[in-house]
């Protein structure tokens, strides 16, 4: 029977440095074993977490009394959301080092792109979680190798970035999970492995300045273009950002390749040193890149510049699916590969059929990563995204949670995790649908994040936040006797890059003075100021979201929208204006009735860290 990695030595034993095919075989065997024995592994994972944490305050508070069996755990422990943990998390952030959630010391906070009260959620983590994340990463290429062999003979051009970090009042670092991973010795000091042989030097990935990081990663990717067999980023939005950066800066990059001297704007000395080992004068390559980039159409640019590329490794499931057409355009339809499903709370699983179409991708949860439970999702008129503030579950609903091996094919569930790092029956907020099974372990399609209506990059805006932001903005209209009759929104990722939020507003104008454009611009900015810190970071620091736009539509537009929905079968009694639209004909209908539009004139305020520190 397989062992769940019990301690660090087991994990590193597992990823022993034997020859590649041995390593691949072992990785695949591990997947076979843990999925074939999914329930036993899950039982053991839970018992292990609970016995280690027997003395932690949180479990004692709920009266678990050192029990480690599933039945007692399910009877005694509540299913919770982040808000339920906020007091405990604040204590940890403020320096309380007692065993509040976890017996092992909290090593840092991972700042999730999910927010609470407008701020990133803080997920406690422990040192050994890095081992678990590394284990999941180590399974990806053995899986891939079954479908696309030979990848060990070349490099991956991956655009990877770190983000700013902050310190809590108690001195713990708070940063995104990938920043934590890239800065760890697991990544920085990884032994040579043909599968983690990237074109980007670590120094470029670890450069805090996003311009210098992107520039140098692209430069290195271009210099080694013949060696590149796969390209990617974490999310599709990040990869497209790199291509758009190339569109803007290819002339400078070509100049560097021609002369072998890096642009003086790159001032980070460690980046310069690292790149100097790769950059050599190569006028022929510079001519080639210049010729390709000067063409009017950039269709297929990826396959032209990196002609040996076999696939693009980016997540295009969930909200990222909006980027599929543009990726297809730039790559002439290269396979888009979604390898894994993970979060700050926990890394969950991987895609065992990486060549499947994005719409059919399913992730197999790896039973050693955490203890998983599933809350059935009862759809309301086919809409999971309707306004719903996270609510606590009643006793009956708590009983509905099922274990990993008991989920039903075709049914949708909300994922609930119990982790080694101190989360117990925690609702992640993702809705998944069972698409099949690998042995006893289910495979899930990612359906959506609960409540999220708008997303461009890692921002996740829900209806309540949108509603509050609009409410704040319309105060600007009062003095003009103008009021908002209806509104909806749209994440526009096609007409501008980076994409931006669009709000469609229908107004009732009762005053004699028209509303000046500057007032609508103020409305745009007020909405942005009111949105959560992940959105504002995307605008200010990552520059991954463009200025918000308000489009004023003709009177009667929202009636037309209702007529259209009813003509397509919506019930007239139950019709509610959708607060976000995605369906192309509806977006077209709205766009055809725009009378004026306004953009946010500047970036909203954003500073690294948390509001309270």
Contact set with ligand AMP (CB under 6 A): 112-114, 177, 315, 317-318, 338, 341-344, 428, 430, 446, 449, 458
Q: Rank residues 210 and 317 by Cβ distance to ligand AMP and give the closer one.
A: 317
- What is the enclosing helix (H) or strand (E) of 251? helix 236-259
Backbone angles phi and psi of 149, in degrees to 5: -75, 165
Q: Rank residues 430 and 542 by Cβ distance to ligand AMP and give the closer one.
A: 430
Q: Rank residues 324 and 485 by Cβ distance to ligand AMP and give the closer one.
A: 324
Take residue 186 and report the two structure tokens written for it.
């697991």
Q: Rank residues 230 and 304 by Cβ distance to ligand AMP and give the closer one.
A: 230
Q: Rank residues 212 and 455 by Cβ distance to ligand AMP and give the closer one.
A: 455
- What is the enclosing helix (H) or strand (E) of 18? none
Residue 348 CB, shortest distance to ligand AMP, in Å, is 8
Q: Rank residues 93 and 315 by Cβ distance to ligand AMP and give the closer one.
A: 315
Query: What distances in angstroms separate CA 320 from CA 333, 446, 526, one per listed residue?
Result: 16, 11, 26
Residue 167 CB, shortest distance to ligand AMP, in Å, is 20
Under a CB-based contact definition with an 8 Å cutoff, are residues 70 and 54 in contact? no
What is the four-CA torsion angle of 13, 14, 16, 20, rounded to 10 degrees?
170
Backbone angles phi and psi of 605, in degrees to 5: -75, 140
Under a CB-based contact definition with an 8 Å cutoff, are residues 4 and 368 in contact? yes
Q: Rank residues 350 and 590 by Cβ distance to ligand AMP and give the closer one.
A: 350
Q: Rank residues 446 and 505 by Cβ distance to ligand AMP and give the closer one.
A: 446
Residue 534 CB, shortest distance to ligand AMP, in Å, is 8
Residue 235 CB, shortest distance to ligand AMP, in Å, is 8
Residue 496 CB, shortest distance to ligand AMP, in Å, is 23
Q: Rank residues 421 and 524 by Cβ distance to ligand AMP and give the closer one.
A: 421
Residue 458 CB, shortest distance to ligand AMP, in Å, is 6
Residue 177 CB, shortest distance to ligand AMP, in Å, is 5
Burial 350-369 (b: 16+ CB within 10 A, else e): bbbbbebebeebbbbbbbbb
Whole-number Å distance between alpha carbons of 495 and 517: 22
Residue 439 CB, shortest distance to ligand AMP, in Å, is 21
Under a CB-based contact definition with an 8 Å cutoff, are residues 444 and 362 in contact? yes
Rg over alpha carbons for the chain, rounded to the nearest Å, is 25
Residue 363 CB, shortest distance to ligand AMP, in Å, is 6
Q: Rank residues 43 and 133 by Cβ distance to ligand AMP and give the closer one.
A: 133
Task: Sort strands 173-175 and 108-116 into parallel, antiparallel or unpaired.
Answer: parallel
Under a CB-based contact definition with an 8 Å cutoff, are residues 427 and 79 in contact? yes
Residue 344 CB, shortest distance to ligand AMP, in Å, is 4
Under a CB-based contact definition with an 8 Å cutoff, are residues 485 and 556 in contact? no
Residue 202 CB, shortest distance to ligand AMP, in Å, is 21
Q: Rank residues 168 and 458 by Cβ distance to ligand AMP and give the closer one.
A: 458
Residue 382 CB, shortest distance to ligand AMP, in Å, is 20
- What is the enclosing helix (H) or strand (E) of 446? strand 441-449
Phi-psi region of 464 (alpha: psi -120 to 50; beta: other; left: phi over 0): alpha
Task: Sort strands 340-342 and 363-365 into parallel, antiparallel or unpaired.
Answer: unpaired
Q: Rank residues 223 and 234 by Cβ distance to ligand AMP and give the closer one.
A: 234
Three-state DSSP at 235 gives: strand
Other Cβ atoms less than 10 A from the Cβ of 262: the count is 20
Report, in this order, helix, strand and coil percent for the chain, each rounded to 5.
Answer: 40, 20, 40
Query: What distances in angstroms separate CA 274 from CA 12, 163, 218, 251, one per listed residue?
Result: 29, 20, 13, 21
Three-state DSSP at 505 gives: strand
């Amino acid at each position: 029977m397989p062992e769940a990695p019990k301690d660090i030595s087991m994990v590193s034993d597992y990823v022993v440095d034997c020859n590649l095919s041995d390593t691949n075989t072992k990785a695949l065997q591990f997947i076979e074993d843990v999925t074939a024995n999914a329930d036993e592994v899950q039982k053991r994972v839970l018992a292990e977490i609970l016995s280690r944490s027997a003395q932690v305050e949180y479990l004692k508070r709920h009266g678990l009394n050192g029990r480690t069996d599933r039945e007692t755990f399910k009877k005694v422990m509540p299913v919770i959301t982040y808000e339920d943990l906020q007091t405990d998390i604040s204590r940890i952030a403020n320096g309380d080092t007692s065993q509040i959630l976890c017996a092992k010391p909290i090593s840092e906070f991972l700042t999730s792109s999910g927010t609470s009260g407008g701020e990133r959620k803080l997920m406690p983590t422990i040192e050994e979680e890095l081992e678990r994340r590394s284990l999941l990463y180590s399974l990806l290429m053995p899986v891939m190798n079954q479908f696309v062999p030979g990848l060990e003979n070349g490099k991956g051009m991956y655009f990877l970035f770190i983000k700013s970090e902050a310190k809590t009042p108690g001195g713990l670092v708070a940063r995104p999970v990938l920043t934590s991973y890239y800065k760890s010795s697991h990544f920085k000091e990884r032994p040579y492995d043909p599968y983690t042989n990237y074109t980007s030097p670590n120094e470029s990935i670890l450069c805090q300045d996003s311009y210098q990081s992107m520039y140098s990663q692209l430069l290195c990717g271009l210099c080694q273009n013949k060696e590149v067999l796969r390209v990617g980023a974490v999310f599709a939005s990040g990869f497209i950002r790199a291509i758009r950066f190339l569109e803007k800066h290819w002339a400078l990059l070509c100049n560097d390749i021609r002369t072998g001297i890096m642009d003086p704007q790159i001032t980070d000395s460690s980046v310069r040193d690292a790149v100097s080992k790769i950059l050599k004068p190569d006028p022929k390559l510079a001519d080639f890149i210049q010729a390709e980039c000067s063409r009017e159409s950039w269709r297929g640019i990826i396959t032209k510049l990196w002609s040996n590329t076999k696939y693009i490794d980016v997540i295009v499931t969930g909200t990222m699916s909006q980027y599929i057409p543009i990726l297809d355009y730039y790559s002439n339809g290269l396979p888009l590969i979604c390898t894994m499903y993970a979060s700050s709370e926990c890394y969950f699983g991987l895609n065992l059929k990486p060549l499947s179409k994005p719409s059919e991708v399913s992730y197999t949860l790896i039973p050693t990563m955490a203890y998983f439970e599933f809350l059935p999702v009862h759809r309301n008129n086919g809409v999971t995204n309707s306004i719903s503030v996270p609510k606590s579950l009643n006793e009956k609903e708590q009983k509905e949670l099922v274990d990993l091996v008991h989920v039903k094919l075709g049914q949708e569930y909300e994922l609930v995790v119990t982790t080694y790092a101190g989360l117990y029956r925690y609702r992640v907020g993702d809705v998944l649908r069972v698409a099949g099974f690998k042995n006893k372990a289910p495979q899930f399609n990612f359906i959506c994040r609960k409540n999220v209506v708008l997303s461009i990059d890692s921002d996740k805006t829900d209806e309540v936040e949108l509603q509050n932001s609009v409410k704040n903005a319309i105060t600007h209209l009062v003095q003009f006797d103008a009021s908002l009759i209806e509104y909806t929104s749209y994440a526009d990722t096609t007409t501008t890059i980076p994409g931006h939020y669009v709000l469609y507003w229908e107004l009732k104008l009762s005053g004699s003075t028209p509303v000046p454009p500057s007032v609508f611009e103020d409305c745009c900015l007020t909405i942005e100021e009111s949105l959560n810190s992940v959105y504002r970071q995307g605008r200010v620091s990552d520059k991954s979201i463009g200025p918000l736009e308000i489009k004023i539509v003709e009177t009667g537009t929202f009636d037309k929208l209702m007529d259209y929905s009813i003509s397509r079968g919506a019930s007239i009694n139950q019709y509610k204006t959708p607060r976000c639209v995605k369906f192309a004909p509806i977006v077209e209908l709205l766009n055809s009735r725009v009378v004026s539009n306004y953009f946010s004139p500047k970036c909203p305020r954003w500073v690294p860290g948390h509001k309270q520190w």
